[in-house]
Structure 1
């Protein structure tokens, strides 16, 4: 008899339904034919806390007891979470049954799922043949296919070892560093392997903002009849006023140095991995990373989306038929996108890259998702499912085609010949003017959600409203329209923007920006390594929430700002503990 162990009750129920047959419900498990299906409750078995090591005096907070290191005699305990002890006894009891001759690891298909299963087996002291159920969707066909193609659990030993190493590293750093800094500075400090480098990035950004000295600058802006030429930033007002006087002269003209036109094709975006979805949900709808993950996990358990904790933005060739089925008909168009935005011939091949799928494919809706299912969801789930479906359509859509024109102009040399004194008042570099226009030709994938709010580009987005004449060419002279209509624009240099949930997730994902060592920088940037910066797609939301719970970071609208307590910790902690290059 097989004992199938899922990570959560809802997943266990989905597996039992997929197995099929008469289902007998028992306390903490169900029986379906010759299969028993039970479930964990997250981490039923955890590393013991220092005060639970009875042969040491680690319950005493003292520098004399540091460092705390249980190696090689690590101890484990059943979780203290409500109901965990009761469910552990059910699972362990089923494992020990004489008629159970095979254990099936059906916990979530990732490192943490592997850890949950292995710890229960070890703590229960059971040694039986084990197989791995690796499935990214809870649809019945997907589960049945996975049950028919299970591999031996030993093939996932690397995943289990990785989970063990991370757990022990987190324990050693957290327990020792937190106690050490709390005792030395007589304050309650919490130090974490990923948490502290992340906090350091926020503190560093906030201090750049606080230390920024705004410096004024001026720009001359000349109207050209439907478009504008903007001068360089000038640090001295008197220089800007001199240039303004020149441009507003009665006989003034620009000489076009360059008029470059190019039709650009912007390829569709990739499918979502978890971090990409979290960033967009924060940017578009203000959802925190934790809320997005919670909603996506719920959609997964409701069989409406594939496995959430993925770091891949592609599918494999084996998944093409599934994607083809998702894009056929209007089931995932009605209620999700405008009818005329659906691609006529979806480019499914753009989503395929076998080499960049390590365990899990990108996030997709399932065949059970449709408008009726969407209407039954809560607010967060509805927003997340809609965005997942729209990204699917975007990823298989046509290129966004747009005409981009860049113009560079200077003071007309003939004008300088007529006015030699004024022509020499400013260096040539300060008399450079530029303009840019960006006009859509074919919306392509932008039609899916072209009205979505974008990141604030501020005054740098100077292409807005410009329609540069198609016949404008290098070498021609052209006067402002109207003459004398140029104005002086004044601005101030701005500090870096505070982190938002979206930009912090991006910083954690691309932590190489904070690394000077070339080899380590290359490793962090390497897609093939799946190192993914600091933290993992599955843990980054928890890291942010923990920083807020501990009082080191606070939310101010969409911004994430460090607190005085958080800055104090970064001031005293050892450089290695806040260095992203180490963790």
Structure 2
């Protein structure tokens, strides 16, 4: 055997085998392709065992055993994956070269590398990175495989993530359950607990919100030289509408007084017209796709990921677990073929949208190799949309394909006009816009958001014909949807107080990754900490109590976001895994001491939300699930 390809899952393995030279022959858990063989994992086929695998005494949830830190990390075959692991072991012994064909991200790198390490692989190993599984992409990437050693940092980052999650889950779930909770097993997670806190804080804001009335002033003006009784005299409505609380008018009597004093006042009108461009929406990342699908298709974050994965495995779209909205420059050459595929889709609206795109142009700002890291934006492949897909799959494909079309369309061009006038140090404004060229909005079928204003000259003297206050009321933020929660998980910098960390976070991921955020939400729902109520995420009594009573380091996003940054540094070769693990150990010591000191002072209580499956059990004690 020349090469042994180890794919992340069977569907990816079949896509690789189809594009290798030579006759094909199916085996038990593999495909022979000429002189090469393709086999596969089923996602992670090895798992980190529970604490009792290291020490039988650690099965007991006893504070005296904490912190539980394995002297040497172990992996065990999953029960339903043992036969496949034996197949890989047998094939590995016959191979001259091995190819890691895991998905192109941290987890994909790790789940194949951990198998190779577990089996003691000493063969030369290459890395195949597939962002799509259509034949052209697979054949292209087969021709430029890289040494797997170049991705050692990515593997180490995957190990760091897994070990941090294990250490936090196994130790702190036990510690918090035994010290601060009487009735429930409390699950603590490196990502899930700060995410729970985001939902709890949002619910607190909404439920404790007290609306307040405030007042804008609307002033209708005309040119002083024109007769106000003449119906042909243009009128313009300006508004004093400050956005900051300290500048708003909260007192109705004061607002009425200001409006009354404005009538018949003269002033100078300033006019500024500027030609602007509106770019089309960016190509989809997974978080953006989940936000779109939550709002427009009523799909949960996990369902969106599942459907996107289905489209990827059917070779209709590219790899979905991405946080990058850019494409490598070399993919400019694929544009005609992808457009042709969209034009052949089994969907009339897509075919018509493709027909409206007359002169597609690849934007340098999108086709920017320097901004593409592990994988690129989610886009269609060269394969047209077939018939027979589920409605959800068709809807998601259409959204992805439409974004691709819009990215190749010209900007919308419009003229924006701003009128301003000042009375008593208050600035009154009117803003309007008129489309000059609709650009991408024509492809999207989007109506122009035009607001034409009267044409008055710059510097004109105007008179206030009428003025009146307009009552408005402050509103609380909206409840999270799964899409907006994932958006906040990614833009967590705005909740961070440390300026240095905030600045760095703006350039990096927030809580979790695109591949794990949906699962985090599902975990919180399954444990009864949050619930989905008509599309709105709400916290349960128990979830709120957890968020309110834990140490700030566990619930604030700062720490877990810092850890995500450290994992990226490990992947980039700028930090050792041992240093990261040492930081986790010190953190555990600190929180364990805090929990023991608070025993009897703080109590986590309340009822979990009802779940469709089994929620958290009552009664702390010997629980296997801790992460």
| The two structures share one fold, judged by TM-score above 0.5 | yes
Asked if 1:202 is matched to 2:199, the reply is yes
Deviations 1:326-368 (CA, angstroms, capped at 9, x unpaired) = 2469726864153564142423433221211112122211111
Asked if 1:522 is matched to 2:519, the reply is no
- Distance in 1, matches of 2:375 and 2:427, equals 51
Which residue does the alignment assign to 2:552?
A: 575
Which residue does the alignment assign to 2:113?
A: 118
Post-superposition shift, 1:90? 2.5
> What is the 5 A alignment of 1:336-375?
336=350, 337-338=352-353, 341-370=356-385, 373=386, 375=387
Change (3 A) 1:150 1:465: closer
Post-superposition shift, 1:410? 4.6
Asked if 1:470 is matched to 2:470, the reply is no
Contact 2:341 2:383 in 1 (8 A): no
Structure 1: any 5+ residue segments left out of the alignment? 412-427, 453-462
Which residue does the alignment assign to 2:291?
A: 279
| 3-state SS of 1:261 partner | strand
Q: TM-score, normalised by structure 2?
A: 0.80
Which residue does the alignment assign to 2:97?
A: 102
Contact 1:552 1:566 in 2 (8 A): yes
Post-superposition shift, 1:157? 0.5
Change (3 A) 1:313 1:465: closer
Which residue does the alignment assign to 1:64?
A: 64
Contact 2:6 2:40 in 1 (8 A): yes
Structure 2: any 5+ residue segments left out of the alignment? 222-233, 242-247, 561-627
> What is the 5 A alignment of 1:472-491?
472-480=457-465, 487-491=468-472
Contact 2:340 2:382 in 1 (8 A): no
Highest relative contact order (Cα 8 Å, sep 6+), 1 or 2? Answer: 2
Post-superposition shift, 1:86? 2.9
Counterpart of 2:405 (choices 378, 393, 399) is: 393
> What is the 5 A alignment of 1:264-303?
264-303=276-315
> What is the 5 A alignment of 1:46-445?
46-53=47-54, 55-71=55-71, 73-80=72-79, 83-96=80-93, 99-184=94-179, 185-186=181-182, 187-222=184-219, 228-232=237-241, 233-246=248-261, 252-253=264-265, 255-327=267-339, 331=343, 335-336=349-350, 337-338=352-353, 341-370=356-385, 373=386, 375-410=387-422, 428-429=424-425, 432-445=427-440
| 3-state SS of 1:57 partner | helix
- Distance in 2, matches of 1:119 and 1:300, equals 24
Deviations 1:129-186 (CA, angstroms, capped at 9, x unpaired) = 2221112111123222222222222111011101001100110011111111111122
Post-superposition shift, 1:189? 0.9
Change (3 A) 1:347 1:22: closer
| 3-state SS of 2:306 partner | helix
Asked if 1:533 is matched to 2:518, the reply is no
Contact 2:218 2:239 in 1 (8 A): yes
Contact 1:288 1:501 in 2 (8 A): yes
Asked if 1:33 is matched to 2:34, the reply is yes
Change (3 A) 1:215 1:79: same
Post-superposition shift, 1:47? 0.8
- Distance in 2, matches of 1:254 and 1:192, equals 63
Change (3 A) 1:475 1:177: same
Change (3 A) 1:237 1:464: farther
Which residue does the alignment assign to 1:4?
A: 5
Asked if 1:42 is matched to 2:43, the reply is yes
Asked if 1:549 is matched to 2:526, the reply is yes
- RMSD over aligned CA atoms reads 2.5
Of 295-304 and 568-577, the range deviating more from structure 2: 568-577
Of 163-172 and 305-314, the range deviating more from structure 2: 305-314
- Distance in 2, matches of 1:339 and 1:32, equals 38
Change (3 A) 1:242 1:465: farther
Contact 1:347 1:398 in 2 (8 A): no
Contact 1:222 1:229 in 2 (8 A): yes
Of 190-199 and 228-237, the range deviating more from structure 2: 228-237
Which residue does the alignment assign to 1:509?
A: 490
Contact 2:342 2:401 in 1 (8 A): no
- Distance in 1, matches of 2:215 and 2:113, equals 65
Contact 2:332 2:362 in 1 (8 A): no
Number of residue-to-residue matches in the alignment: 536
